[in-house]
Structures are given as structure tokens and as C-alpha cells.
Amino acid sequence: MAKKQTRRSISVTREAYDKLKLYADKNDISMSKLTEAALDLYIARQDIKTTPARGPTGAFGTNPAGPAPLPVGRRSTDAFSF
């Protein structure tokens, strides 16, 4: 029996979408599965805690210190290298 899926959406640039689609098509994998695998890999490499945090307002994902910086010399588009 399949797990219940919840549809969510994110916005990406046209360039990122085209890269995702091209890679997924060439490797016979769905764009969703590829995105999930890339996210899992990124989180594992960054040792990111995936438990939702509750900030002072009670909103999920609030981080008073702000987001973690990217490594020096890397652009956000370089985060995933397969």
C-alpha cells in the first residue's frame, strides 16, 4: 500500500527547472524522486537537523540566528554536484 502523498509546490528558476527536467529524463527518474534524493543528499552532507524548530512566534523553521551560510567560494547553484 502506497503512503499518502501531499502535493506541495516550490518555485525555481527556469534554468533550474530545465536542468532538473533534462537530468531526470536522461536518467529515467521522476523529477519528484530526483528532487527528494538531491535534498536528502544535501541535508546529509550539511548535517542539517530536520526536526522542525519552533521559534518565539511558534512558526515552524524559525531560526533567530538566520540561515546557515554557504561555504566560501560556492554559489547556491553549486550545492548539488552529481
Residue 1 CA to residue 66 CA, distance in Å, equals: 40
Residue 63 has pLDDT above 80, yes or no: no
pLDDT in tens, 1-58: 567 778 889 999 999 999 999 999 999 999 999 999 999 998 888 877 766 666 555 4
Looking from the CA of 80 toward its CB, the CA atoms found within 13 Å total 15
For the entire predicted model, the pTM comes to 0.52
| Grid cell locating 60 | 515552524
**Contact 35/20 with Cβ under 8 angstroms?**
yes
